[in-house]
Amino acid sequence: MSERIFNFSAGPAVLPESVLRAAQEAIWNLADSGIGVLEHSHRGPEFTKVIEEAEANCRELASIPDDYAVLFLQGGASLQFAMLAMNLLPSGATADYVNTGSWSKKAIAEAKKLGTVHVAGTSEDEGFGYIPGNDAIRWSNAPAYVHYTSNNTIAGTQWHRDLPAPSAVPVVCDASSDIFSRPIDVSKYGLIYAGAQKNLGPSGVTLVIIRKDLAERAPDTLPTMLQYRTHIKEGSLFNTPPTFGVFMIGEVFKWLKSQGGLAGVQKHNEAKAKIIYDAVEASPMFRGTARPDSRSLMNICFRGPDEDTEKRFLAAAKEARLSGLKGHRSVGGMRASIYNAFPAAGCTALANLIASFR
């Protein structure tokens, strides 16, 4: 197939076309060096420029304060589930987690292997279809940190307010599926992490933004690669970083700047999600699964009247060249993932299908 189609995949996901074109060129010949980006030494001047620019653009986009480090790591968000607890949860202390879906549960399970976890709030009672209210969250006494998942990729819910964290307790956020989809005040966080493959680039690179003093909490016995301070000290170059992923993230940051930065991309994202939610609401056949005040702008989950109709809808979508709309295997139904790079025209195409499907 020579033409590209609308790709609603939850991750790895669609990337901006201009970024893919730049990558095509850079794989062949990076910045007129005569060597492709995949073939350059991570210590040479060409890649040094790539990683320095990527970090600078990241800092500019989110106005990241100087006392925070920006790291490009490996192992995905899933390694962060363990690594953050290894570094930030001293023995004898408790970490508080809000459980809003499958990824929160995985983060909790990893932390439990390493220390004491208190689940401060949960929406599991209603299949994770909402974000718990502030009055339903009970923090423990003096937690080492509090952790939440800002966007729940599988249930299709998203926090639309700050976590009501106890003062002076570091807030740790798994932002894998909504990072840089809207403005973010980094100074309110201790640590933000995200696998790149949803909103930032290809799989294989993980963005970590960490307040530097928190890295000093790690015990010296922790293996070197698992200490944040190693990567802070070496500027993500302790070992060979995922060079292509860093290049791609850097290109996505440039693209984000061209979209009016995070405020600009937020406007696009709100308009895009509205196209689909409006169509679902207007349809007598489909219904959204998330409570309206908790709906995600990134992952729109909806159901049909029965599984057979859903199957036929997914077949019709495929016919209309709309790919990746099947809901996560754990919840069924449909899910339209419309991260930053997903085009508005694809949202309109889906809305039209929802309206015309019989």
Ligand X SMILES: *Cc1c(COP(=O)(O)O)cnc(C)c1O
Tokens of 142: 């003096």
103 is catalytic: yes
Cβ nearer to ligand X, comparing 123 with 149: 149
DSSP string, 230-289: HHHHTTT-SS---HHHHHHHHHHHHHHHHTTHHHHHHHHHHHHHHHHHHHHHH-SS-EES
H helix runs in the chain, sequence order: 17-28, 45-62, 76-88, 102-114, 228-233, 243-258, 261-282, 307-319, 344-356
Q: What Cα–Cα distance (Å) separates residue 317 from each residue in 314, 353, 356? A: 5, 7, 11
Position 181 contacts ligand X (CB under 6 A) = no
Q: Which of 7, 99, 100, 149 binds ligand X (CB under 6 A)?
A: 149
Stretch that binds ligand X, among 72-80, 161-169, 276-284, 307-315 (CB under 6 A): 72-80
Based on the shown chain and the rule CB under 6 A, indicate whether residue 201 belongs to the binding site for ligand X: no
Min dist CB 241 to ligand X, Å, is: 16
Query: What is the total count of residues that contact ligand X (CB under 6 A)?
Result: 12
Q: Pull the structure tokens for residue 11.
A: 């991750």
11 binds ligand X (CB under 6 A): yes
Quick one: 48 or 78, whose CB is closer to ligand X?
78
DSSP three-state, residue 29: coil
Are the CB atoms for 154 and 103 separated by under 8 Å?
yes
CB of 78 to ligand X, least distance (A): 3
Q: Could you say which of 159, 178, 198, 272 is catalytic?
A: 198
With beta carbons less than 8 A apart as the criterion, state whether 145 and 193 touch: no
Q: What is the Cα–Cα distance from 203 to 240, expressed in whole angstroms?
A: 16
**Quick check: 286 binds ligand X (CB under 6 A)?**
no
Residue 76 makes contact with ligand X by CB under 6 A: yes
CB of 189 closer than 8 Å to CB of 172: yes
294 binds ligand X (CB under 6 A): no
Say whether residue 199 binds ligand X (CB under 6 A). no
- Does 177 participate in binding ligand X (rule CB under 6 A)? yes
The one among 55, 96, 110, 174 contacting ligand X by CB under 6 A: 174
Of 73-81, 160-168, 242-250, 289-297, the window that binds ligand X (rule: CB under 6 A) is 73-81
Q: Is 174 a catalytic residue?
A: yes
83-112: which residues touch ligand X (CB under 6 A)? 103
Only one residue has tokens 């401060």, namely 120
> How many whole angstroms separate alpha carbon 40 and alpha carbon 151?
35
Q: Of 7, 87, 176, 296, which one interacts with ligand X (CB under 6 A)?
A: 176
Among 77, 114, 179, 350, binds ligand X (CB under 6 A): 77
Candidates 61-69, 74-82, 160-168, 267-275 — which segment interacts with ligand X by CB under 6 A?
74-82
* Number of other residues whose CB lies within 10 A of the CB of residue 315: 10
Shortest CB 179 distance to ligand X, Å: 10
Catalytic residue chosen out of the listed positions 103, 255, 272, 326: 103
Cβ neighbors of 349 (< 8 A, separation 6 or more) are: 6, 320, 322
Structure letter (DSSP) for residue 323: E
**108/279 with CB nearer ligand X:** 108
CA distance to 73, 205, 236, per residue, from 240 (Å) = 10, 12, 8
CB of 151 to ligand X, least distance (A): 6
Q: Catalytic residue positions?
A: 103, 174, 198
Residue ranges in contact with ligand X by CB under 6 A: 11, 76-78, 103, 149, 153, 174, 176-177, 195, 198
